[in-house]
Amino acid sequence: MWLGQPWSLDLSAQPGNPIFGLTTEMGMAVDMQPIAIFDIETNTGTTDITLNLTSPGEAGESLDTATQVNSNNWINYSSADRDVSSRHIEVSVGAGSVPAGLELLVSVGNCVGGAGSRGSPVSSEVSISTVAQNIITGIQGCYTGNGPGFGHQLTFRLRYINSNFDQITVQSTPLTIVYTMVDD
């Protein structure tokens, strides 16, 4: 029923109503700290490894180091920093020494998992000594995934140096292997 009063519609702006184009602003800052973290992962319960040399099975044979291989450990890392172009990981003997007549070698597999500009392993085995040597280069903004089976698999092996058999002595030699992530 219409009572003769004019009908009116009050159209006023409502906050958040896109028809009227109201906007507001607020300040916000995102501050990301540089990231450079890595660790060694394994599925065996310990990252420590043992390579046992056994005596030859037959008189006149040399040492067989071909079976002395360990591939249980993996390097996982995360890296991000706007002020660093890239990083690399080095390996060295930090305590102890490789027994005379033998070489301790490590090879590094291609990265499995993660995303971003993950590093590249050096192309050949590295003879580990007290001098730090690159094993992974070109690490940029990335992550590898976490745990064994992610990142770069490490394969260690012993090699008998043929001309140095007279230097080999019966001994147990504990070593500390040191990994270092370095900004380039």
Query: Would 111 be classed as within a structural domain?
Result: yes
Query: Would 138 be classed as within a structural domain?
Result: yes
Residue 1 pLDDT exceeds 50: no
Q: Which domain holds residue 90?
A: 33-46+63-164
Cβ atoms of 50 and 72 within 8 Å: the answer is no
**Sequence-ordered list of residues with C-beta below 8 angstroms from that of 44, at least 6 positions apart, any chain:** 72
10-63 pLDDT per residue, tens: 555 555 555 656 678 889 988 888 999 999 999 999 999 988 877 778 888 877
Query: Would 133 be classed as within a structural domain?
Result: yes
Query: Would 2 be classed as within a structural domain?
Result: no
Query: Would 139 be classed as within a structural domain?
Result: yes
For 39, phi then psi, to 5°, come to -155, 175
Instruction: State residue 7's pLDDT score.
Output: 52
Query: Would 105 be classed as within a structural domain?
Result: yes
Looking at the structure of the chain, the number of domains it has is: 1
Instruction: State residue 152's pLDDT score.
Output: 98
Mean pLDDT calculated for residue range 172-180:
92
Cβ atoms of 158 and 100 within 8 Å: the answer is no
Query: Would 118 be classed as within a structural domain?
Result: yes
74-126 pLDDT per residue, tens: 999 999 998 899 999 999 999 998 888 888 999 999 999 999 999 999 999 99
Query: Would 181 be classed as within a structural domain?
Result: no
Instruction: State residue 89's pLDDT score.
Output: 98
Per-residue CA distances from 164 to 55, 59, 131, 139, 177 (Å): 16, 18, 21, 38, 23
